[in-house]
Structure 1
Amino acid sequence: MTPNEAAVVVVGAGPVGLALAVGLRLHGHDVVVVDKQAEGANTSRACVIHPRTLEVLEEVGVSKRLVELGLQLQQFSIRADDRRLVPVGFADLPTAYPFVTMIPQPVTEQVLLERLEELGGSVLRPYAATGLTQTADGAEVTLDNGDVIKAQYVVAADGMNSTIRELAGLRMPGNTLELSLSLVDVRVDGGLPTDEVGLYFAAGGMLVVAPLPDGSFRLVAEVPDAPEHPDAAFAQRLLAGRGPRKGKPQVTEVIWGSRFRIHERVADTYRAGRVLLAGDAAHTHSPAGGQGMNLGLRDAVMLANALSTALAGEDAALDEYATTCRAEAIRVIALAHRLTRLANVPRAARPVRNAVLGLVGRLDKTQHDVAMQLAGL
């Protein structure tokens, strides 16, 4: 049964919406989370949680569980074939989490959902938000079954094509890059490092190789006209043409695959009266550096604190959230843009790029600065 009212309605039960709801429950507020997908319908896109994000998630009590379920890696390397151009280590970073945690997005969502349920919350599925009205002292969300939920605040955590953002009249301008990316989860017979995330700069283009907790590997590559359903032969060509040479890894199974284009967009503002934006509803960018879900999770925790303050009567906290998190999104988008452009320089320039990276990558300062940027510190 749909509740008639709540302090906050969160539209979207991905990692961002769930983390926000957990934060609000910890502050003692009633929150309704609505999602249009049936339970278990999500597929895995994001697969890494960075050190700074784990620090922030301590506030909602899930960091320990995520680390337990994930695979901890202390190395990130930019490579060309078997050559390591830029080694990046996380072991010496000033954090209690000196590693990146590889963990598929559905597992992260399950951990957050269990935490929400532990706190007495739940998710209404499958219901789409189709209407939004605002008044001076609240807002109303209309669902596709005709039910209306009254709230003091509404949060759009419903992704890049956010319905709530559009209904609130908020714009998210930006660019769609002429890049087609293929994402494939595979099982491989030998030949790939299991202790690092590798970014391979090859003559044929970029390839990311990331080990996952179950022994599989995530491959991400920029390719013309990426297939909708990549098969083992396609994944094998990516590894043979762009990955390591010595081990000669052989793809034995494709677990899941997808394709997408890169959008670089950020909302003009994260707030319109009683409506707030978070996660991909507020910003989207290249997956380079694995920053997207991490940025959204940090949005969620800060917004939970800001909403709790606003519900106590200090509305300015929401403006601070909107300003601070938008500035952080612009910084992260710039980082992801630089990494994407570096990975996709014209073919003729790629040998020069690799030679320069090989020299600059030897410097301790370069390695430290890249580690701090990727870690979110």
Structure 2
Amino acid sequence: MRAGVVVSAQPGVEDLAVQAEELGLHSFWVNDTPMVHGDPFVALGLCAKATSRIRLGIGVTSPALRSAPAAASGFASLNALAPGRIICGVGTGNTARRTLGMRPTTAATLEKFTTALQDLCAGRTIEYREGDRVRDVRFLHTGTTVNTTDPIEFVVAALGPNAAAVAGRRGTGLISFGLLDPAAWHALHDARRHAAHGTPRDPESRTDSYVVTALHILDENEDAHGDAARDATGHLVLSLLAFAADTAADPRAFAEQLGPAERAAMQRLIDRRGTTATAPDRHTKLYPNYLGRIAPQDRDLVLPSLMNTLALVGTRDDLLARIATLEQAGIDELLIQPVIDPPTEMAQLAKLLT
């Protein structure tokens, strides 16, 4: 299985990209969550100039964050800096929207956005609409400024069949966050293939699937749920608990899918952050330091059940066996989000998989 890394935009990110390339990793991604992290286009522009081989991805942008022309300009500009190495991840903006206190967009809007990006980044004309005003638009400055010749890889963020169907109809790959259940991946791939039938696209055409997780390789006799393992995986667990807390008041709340211990941890998070499940400003309390290293006092929230669901923790042999199962489920690349010591964690990933 290929290996890659996901980080947040920050000064010095290009140094991590250089190290990832030197380690033989396949891809280097930057999050797009404007109110929590830095700008991914700025970060990947630096990475594009500092590297020569590694693929560079934004994971993921959304129609609720940027207009299609603005997003396409960003991707085509990156493609001019790193021809043929750019990956455009698109999604409904689940986290990026919720950190604004807003709901994510719909799968239908995501599909229109993806279609527009694919067309614009290939140099084609699209129909652009603002209210009742509709105009045909295309890049007027192709060549030296933006690159519409070399292909950009597109992937759709999916946890369920609706987004996977968008990927099928648009001929894109898939990316998912913390989804380590092989059965769930089989279902996503089935939904993608089914949606591709009846379109001009070949349902069996080659597209890649990526899963984002955290990795902790246990030392001999190390506790699989000790402080080191909790610190390495806690950012994923707390992101899930924050999402559960943020949506707990919805009629079909995600929190209802959690067990009693997990719901209790969610409530402790809500109380600890000084908010409620219905407070209109809860997003300002739940999402600071989102996907960052957790505080030691929050280790009790990192339940073993959630660690095992979202992250890869185990001995080298245990991890290789689990990764092989994921590969059999159709996952092409394992992406980790390192938060403790990124250079060391990237090196461990490379040693494990490359």
- The TM-score range, normalised by the shorter chain, is under 0.3
Q: Which has the larger radius of gyration?
A: 1
State the TM-score, normalized to the length of structure 1: 0.26
Q: Which has the higher helix share?
A: 2
Q: Which has the higher strand share?
A: 1
State the TM-score, normalized to the length of structure 2: 0.28
